[in-house]
């Protein structure tokens, strides 16, 4: 915050999204001596990794054979804590307005508007993943009454499923991963998919079939949920024959996909492609001083990996420093020869 700016503080970076890429952006901005404020509509830092997959293994970041999502987010928070980014959770950014007067290295270029406040930013980093995610739900009459009473869309603690009969519905990576990860924890596991072919990574499908005791039920779909205060069973229907079968279960994990929605971002004048924002080789959007990083960024050759998002973060911030800030970037070996927590 600049001196004298008490009502409308000015930040170097406004970061939209507090997933792994947004958290790294807070660190990398601080690494260059720049402050940041970050917003996320979710209740916890870590984005989808924490709010949907905290117990899921991550394999696509350097230096780790595998690491739990919650542990990786914890390490990112430790990394960024040296520079104290300002985080605001449960807070949606609903507006991005350019400031009309002449901008310079000491002046903001945009006003970020949330449901609770307005702040000024010199540059904006949109790290919103694929936008707001909502789990796809089955159209069943009593499904809402049984949500969190046997019907689940995510796993927050594996121990909750200890010694329980668990049915996992879905053919993608999340469904197959949890069939593997709950092996040895759940008393019984059924893996249900409406097609005979799972869409998950082939190696994981093979592991599920060979190295777990999950009972594979294909091609089946959920016909009916049974229970009042808590789920007690489910009726499945065979997708080809129409035959129905009843199973007594304790919990069901519905992992049939997520629906992405960019929400207010679509109204900000950005060039949108599908559920993403088009950027150039510097991660800059069609709006000056506004960058998109992580899964939400779209360009030729794009790879949706956390590791790629971290590289995009560095590219965006280095370019913003060269273009919009009147400062010298720190030398690249600064972190090697100093401990940021001692700064």
Q: What is the pLDDT along the chain (343 residues), one digit of tens a residue?
A: 333 334 678 999 999 999 999 999 999 999 999 999 999 988 889 987 887 778 788 888 888 888 988 999 999 999 999 898 999 998 999 999 998 765 555 678 999 999 899 999 999 999 987 655 667 889 999 999 999 999 999 888 889 999 999 999 999 988 998 999 999 999 999 999 999 999 988 988 999 999 999 999 999 999 999 999 999 999 999 999 999 999 999 999 999 987 666 888 989 999 999 889 999 999 999 999 999 999 999 999 999 899 999 999 999 999 999 999 877 666 655 554 455 555 5
Q: Please choose, from the candidates 32, 116, 23, the residue with its C-alpha nearest in 3D space to the C-alpha of residue 72.
A: 23
The tokens describing 71, both together, are 């542990």
From residue 93, give the alpha-carbon distance in Å to each of 17, 113, 177: 9, 6, 33
- Dihedral (Cα; 318, 320, 324, 329), 10-degree rounding: -20
Helical axes 69-80 vs 20-31, angle rounded to 10°: 20
- pLDDT score, position 4: 35
- Are 45 and 89 within 8 A, CB to CB? yes
Mind listing the domains of the chain with CATH numbers?
Answer: 10-132+259-342 (3.50.50.60), 137-256 (3.50.50.60)
Q: Helix and strand tally (H, E) in the chain?
A: 8, 22
H/E stretch holding 258 = strand 258-261
Environment class of 243 (CB within 10 Å of its CB; exposed 0-12, middle 13-18, buried 19+): exposed
- pLDDT score, position 323: 92
Q: Angle at Cα 287 formed by Cα 285 and Cα 292, nearest 5°?
A: 30
């Amino acid at each position: 915050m600049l001196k004298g700016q008490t009502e409308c503080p000015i930040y170097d970076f406004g970061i939209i999204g507090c997933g792994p890429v947004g958290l790294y952006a807070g660190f990398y901005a601080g690494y260059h001596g720049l402050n940041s404020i970050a917003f996320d509509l979710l209740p916890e830092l870590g984005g989808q990794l924490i709010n949907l997959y905290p117990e899921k293994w991550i394999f696509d970041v350097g230096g780790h054979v595998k690491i739990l999502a919650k542990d990786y987010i914890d390490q990112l928070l430790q990394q960024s804590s040296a520079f104290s980014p300002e985080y605001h959770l449960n807070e949606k950014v609903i507006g991005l307005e350019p400031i009309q007067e002449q901008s310079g290295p000491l002046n903001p270029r945009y006003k970020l508007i949330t449901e609770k406040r307005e702040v000024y930013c010199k540059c904006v980093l949109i790290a919103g993943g694929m936008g707001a995610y909502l789990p796809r739900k089955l159209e069943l009459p009593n499904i809402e009454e049984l949500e969190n009473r046997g019907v689940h869309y995510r796993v927050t603690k594996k121990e909750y499923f200890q010694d329980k009969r668990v049915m996992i519905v879905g053919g993608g990576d999340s469904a197959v991963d949890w069939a593997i990860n709950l092996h040895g924890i759940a008393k019984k596991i059924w893996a249900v998919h409406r097609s005979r072919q799972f869409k998950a990574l082939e190696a994981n499908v093979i592991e599920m079939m060979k190295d777990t005791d999950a009972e594979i039920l294909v091609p089946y779909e959920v016909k009916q949920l049974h229970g009042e205060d808590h789920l007690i069973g489910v009726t499945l229907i065979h997708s080809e024959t129409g035959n129905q079968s009843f199973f007594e279960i304790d919990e069901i994990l519905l992992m049939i996909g997520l629906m992405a929605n960019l929400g207010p971002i679509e109204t900000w004048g950005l060039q949108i492609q599908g559920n993403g924002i088009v950027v150039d080789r510097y991660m800059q959007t069609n709006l000056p001083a506004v960058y998109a990083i992580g899964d939400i960024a779209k360009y030729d050759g794009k790879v949706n990996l956390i590791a790629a998002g971290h590289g995009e973060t560095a590219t965006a911030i280095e370019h913003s420093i060269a273009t919009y800030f009147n400062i010298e970037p720190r030398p690249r070996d600064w972190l090697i020869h100093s401990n940021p927590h001692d700064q």
